[in-house]
Amino acid sequence: MRRSGLIFALLIAACAEAEGTGGYDAPDVIWVLQSLDGAPFAADATLRFPALDRIAGEAPCNLYSGAQTGRYPAFRTGPILSTKRACPELAAEGQFFTALERMTRAEQSGETMLLSSEDGGQMVFTRRRDD
């Protein structure tokens, strides 16, 4: 009986690994937004995948978190929660959140992650490197 329990646990772990965290990198990887819909994004914004089915990061003004319900390469966010600080980049933050919520596909290649939407929108992120 113990052996079948171990086999079951290993099978569950293998399925979870195959399903993955949406195909996204380790929880400590921080993705930095470089461009939005083909134009450089001048404000600072990041994206992380801290746990299975979760996103988090720093928008131009506020910290945020939310659900990520798609399985790689699908990308879908649930409601995004954020802090409520005001700053000069609130317009850029609005653009960031609006774009993030409409993204439906993710592609990761090396140091770059591309989020795209069915209407042609794109968000290009690069992996943050510690100096």
- pLDDT tens profile 46-65: 999 999 899 999 999 999 99
Supply the pLDDT for residue 99: 97
How many domains does the chain contain in total?
1
CB 59 within 8 A of CB 93: yes
- H helical segments located in 1-131: 2-19, 90-102
pTM: predicted TM-score of the whole model, two decimal places = 0.79
Per the DSSP assignment, residues forming a β-bridge with 47 are 31
If we measure between CA atoms, which residue out of 33, 96, 111, 110 comes closest to residue 66? Answer: 96
Q: The domain containing residue 98 runs over which residues? A: 22-127
- pLDDT tens profile 77-109: 989 999 999 999 999 999 999 999 999 999 999
Indicate whether 75 pLDDT > 60: yes
Q: Is there a domain that residue 13 lies in?
A: no
User: What is the CATH number for 110?
Assistant: 2.40.128.270
